[in-house]
Amino acid sequence: MPELLQKNPRLLGYYRLLLGFSQKQLYGKEHGFGPFKSMEEKGTLSDKQSSQLVGLCKCLSASADYFVLNTKHLSQSSVHDLTLLTLGAQLRGSHQNRIGQKATKQVFNLIKHHVQPHILREHSDFIEIQNAAGNPIRIAFAADPDIAILSELPSKQLRPILAIEIKGGKDVSNIHNRIGEAEKSHLKARERGFAECWTIVGVAKLDSDLAHRESPTTHRFFLLGEIADPDSDEFREFREQLNSRLGV
């Protein structure tokens, strides 16, 4: 009921969990509920949100109707268990995000170490180097792709060179889903003009042929554990390939 959400906007989070929606599912761009996220997270309700509560409640009620009609044994305990199940999935998702962020930072620092002699300036989310031809190259943290390498033109425009997606999870059973996610990101990168795409994974082993079938836009796959080992052949391969793209 709109009156309940007006009284306590954080209740939106309870109903979201009850109906089995993750934050990503409910507040993602495809469903249009993103503007309501602050209700759950901050407990606030703006005038604009308040004016749209009736529509929000109608959508939630439709999902609740389906939920009630398709639940054989509905009880207070089962309702409680369902919210915990959804919360567990949300917490696992948060854990995976932290793993991904840590892996991206690790790769970024590894690249930074490789290009240290050529660095012109550093920022919190990018470094800029000068290659052998005297051209500035930017290596940046980005949301999509995880790491973007771009060449700065005389006009100060940035020309995309290399997109790197990083999937740091070590769970072998989930690697194919992760590669599928990388493929989606690479397709977006290709639309933006990136000529080459790499995928770095956290698993110890990878079926290269299968991986290339699952992500045909990935030009090269690398194992995170291997490129972080200075004594490995893959470390040397990664460094040589990276230096050739950067022109250093």
Q: What's the distance, Cα to Cα, between the start and end of the chain in Å?
A: 62
Find out whether 218 and 183 touch, Cβ atoms under 8 Å: yes
What integer pLDDT is reported at residue 162 of this predicted model? 96
Predicted confidence (pLDDT) per residue in 214-244, tens digit: 999 999 999 999 999 999 999 999 999 999 9
> Residue 90's pLDDT band (boundaries 50, 70, 90)?
low
Tell me, yes or no, if the pTM score tops 0.95.
no
Strand partners, 119: 129
Portion of the chain with pLDDT greater than 70, in percent: 90
Q: What is the crossing angle of helices 233-246 and 76-114, to 10°?
A: 70
Domains observed in the chain: 2-70 (no CATH), 96-246 (3.40.91.10)
> Considering only CA atoms, which of 136, 88, 158, 95 is closest in space to residue 247?
136
Predicted confidence (pLDDT) per residue in 145-189, tens digit: 899 999 988 888 899 999 999 998 877 777 888 899 899 999 999
Number of H helices, E strands in the chain: 11, 7
Find out whether 135 and 69 touch, Cβ atoms under 8 Å: no
Residue type at position 242: L
What integer pLDDT is reported at residue 239 of this predicted model? 94
What integer pLDDT is reported at residue 92 of this predicted model? 52
Taken in order 165, 103, 150, 112, the sign of the CA dihedral is negative
Give the range among 57-61, 82-86, 130-134 with minimum mean pLDDT. 82-86
Give the range among 75-84, 97-106, 176-185 with minimum mean pLDDT. 75-84
CA 210 to chain centre: 22
Portion of the chain with pLDDT greater than 90, in percent: 48
Average pLDDT, the chain: 86
